[in-house]
Structure 1
Amino acid sequence: MIIGYTTGVFDMFHIGHLNILQRAKEHCDYLIVGVSTDECVESYKHKIPIIPYEQRAAIVEAIKYVDEVVPQTTMDKLIFLKKRHFDVMFHGDEWKGTELYKKYEEEFAKYGAKIEYLSHTEGISSSMLREKIHG
Structure 2
Amino acid sequence: MSTIIGYTTGVFDLFHIGHLNILKKAKEHCDYLIVGVTTDEIAFEMKGKKPVLSFGERLEIVNSIKYVDKAVAKEDIDNIAAWRELKFDVFFKGDDWKGTEKGRKLENYFAEFGIQVIYFPYTEGTSSTFLREVLNKIKTS
TM bucket, shorter chain: over 0.9
Matches within 5 A, 1:93-104: 93-104=95-106
Residues in 2 aligned to 1:11 and 1:115: alpha-carbon distance in whole angstroms? 24
**Cα deviation, residue 112, structure 1:** 1.5
What is the aligned length? 135
Matches within 5 A, 1:30-45: 30-45=32-47
What residue number does 1:12 align with? Answer: 14
Give the alignment's TM-score, normalised by structure 2: 0.93
Per-residue CA deviation, residues 104-126 of structure 1 (Å, 9 max, x unaligned), is 11110112201100011110000
What residue number does 1:29 align with? Answer: 31
**Cα deviation, residue 86, structure 1:** 0.6
What residue number does 1:72 align with? Answer: 74
Runs of 5+ consecutive residues of structure 1 not aligned to the other structure: none
| Alignment counterpart, residue 115 of structure 1, candidates 106, 114, 117 | 117
| Alignment counterpart, residue 56 of structure 1, candidates 44, 48, 58 | 58
Secondary structure at the aligned position of 1:79 is classed as: helix
Runs of 5+ consecutive residues of structure 2 not aligned to the other structure: none
Give the alignment's TM-score, normalised by structure 1: 0.97
Task: Give structure 1 regions of 4+ aligned residues with deviation exceeding 6 angstroms.
Answer: none
**Identity score, percent:** 53
Residues in 2 aligned to 1:84 and 1:20: alpha-carbon distance in whole angstroms? 20
Kindly provide the amino acid, as one letter, of the partner of residue 109 in structure 1.
A
